[in-house]
Structure 1
Amino acid sequence: MKYNNPIMTERADPWIYKHTDGYYYFTASVPGYQSIELRRAKTINELKDGELLTVWQAHDKGELSSLIWAPEIHYIRGKWYIYFSASNHENERNQRNHHRMFVLENSHENPMNDDWVEKGQVKTLFESFSLDATVFEHKGELFYVWAQQDPRIQGNSNLYLARMKNPWTLENKQILLSIPEYDWEKIGFEVNEAPAVIIRNNKVFITYSGSATDENYAIGLLWADADADLLNGFSWHKSKEPVFVSSEKNQQYGPGHNSFTVSEDGTTDLIVYHARPEKNKVGDPLDNPNRHARIQAFEWDENGFPVFGEPVAN
């Protein structure tokens, strides 16, 4: 299958989920950061012009009123959930206070409606800037991976992992998965964020993004054996080098905040990500809407590790 890149313009933090009903569901950060939209289509190329609905709108005030970032849609144990982060207008630029993580629930078979119920904030073991949560099921258990700032650790955000009691509540143990430690993770900002999970070849892989969201943004890789105790920090390993970076040749810059899906025939793994068609020229790159959603196939090496290559050209 040949994909038309970009698959969506001005949609950062793209998430695509292929459901058993044959539809691909797409959501992402919407410019203005005041709503959550959901798209669906039977093929990836049709998502751009497919069924579209704004399923949730930011509140007028309070903790769910500003900077609605990085929604993800998941189907968990018979219900739909959307995980996202949001801020309070009063604190939106205060790094110590802005952004917490929230979840919506929908009980309909078809999630393309506005009957989404707010289940509230997903509480971690300490209160601080937190965002970019994803969930995955493994060996019958539900896990939550997210980015959070720890005042005891230098930098902007680290990655954490916890088991879940239910799709909106964590158990009372969480582990620190990764901190920004290598030079490539600390350009502009010291960041580990935007985790995404894929389980293949008897391993649990977690990709994540590091550095500022300009052309320095890049994807790193964590992994653990599928049979290991995932809540034991010693089970996890980390690549010293990024695994997906800007391509000068193809004029794609700052690839990151990825997700994973599969091809229409179910035979090929696909990485979904955003990238910019040029380097950020001036100002805060978060204010530049030219992060476009993109997709491409990737392969696996002889050791069972993903080989993403480089961002393809438009």
Structure 2
Amino acid sequence: MLRTFQVVAKNLSMTEAALKLNQSKGSISYQIKTLENQLGFTLFERSNARLHLTSKGQKLLNVSTLSLDQIDQEIELLKFKKPTPLTIALQSYFLSRWLSPRLMKFTAKHPEIGLRFVPLNFINEMDNIEADISICWGKEGMINSPHERLISCPACPTANSQIAERVKKEGLDKIILTTPLLFDSSESIGWQDWFSHAGIDFKKSIQGVSISDSNSRVQAVIDGQGIALWDNLVSPEINSGNLHYLSNIQLDEYGYYIRVKENILENDTVKLFFKWIKEEGNSISSSKITKSLTFTQER
């Protein structure tokens, strides 16, 4: 039923899903209704014969896509005993928004190399996670084991339209102390650094919320659950008006860092991927990132 849900969600059409899955439209509709009943919440809104994902439906699509793909990969490994793939631990946000659009270049050049992606939510996991390569957002000094900066990616406070309007009327200093802060992979360190840069007392902010999955945290900001630190990888939401940068004070020292498991860099497969992803990272300039940010407030 989750697979059926994915096809319906991506096409926003029961008819299209029925054609692609070679099933009747009635069967597709029955599976979606059964799934909604079992979950206890609605996945789609129906208006004028068109389907629209609910916010909960969108969150389920994000997490189920990554999880079911991982299950498929594991099943294939169990069935066919293929060579052990390269395991890469990273945030789902970085995978979907930065790595995935570029990945075809690598797989086209090296179809013999299997890749397996596992979730990494917090930067302190990089030191002990079972992965050949791990990538996470943070700053120098937060990772104990040997690592390199992959790309510079400054971040600043980001919110939805309603909160951005309040910032325009009441000022960022007031709103940021009275609105929940959503914590990222750096947990509260990133926010503490931003408050320090802005000259605001972090201790005066109200209790924040930690949302480990980064894609779910993007949706949480859109839903108005609070303010989060985001970089230019949320540009689709910025361009659509669903999200707004709130300040020109940003964390320039932050970016995405890459760590290779100790004693494995001599592995030819690891060396190939490591070299390729560093070249991709070097093609991104920090000036390009900075210029993409437009702000609600100067502070």
TM-score (norm 1): 0.25
Query: Would you tell me which structure has more helix in proportion to its own residues?
Result: 2
**Which structure: larger Rg?**
2
Query: 1 or 2 for the larger relative contact order (CA 8 Å, sep ≥6)?
Result: 2
Query: Would you tell me which structure has more strand in proportion to its own residues?
Result: 1
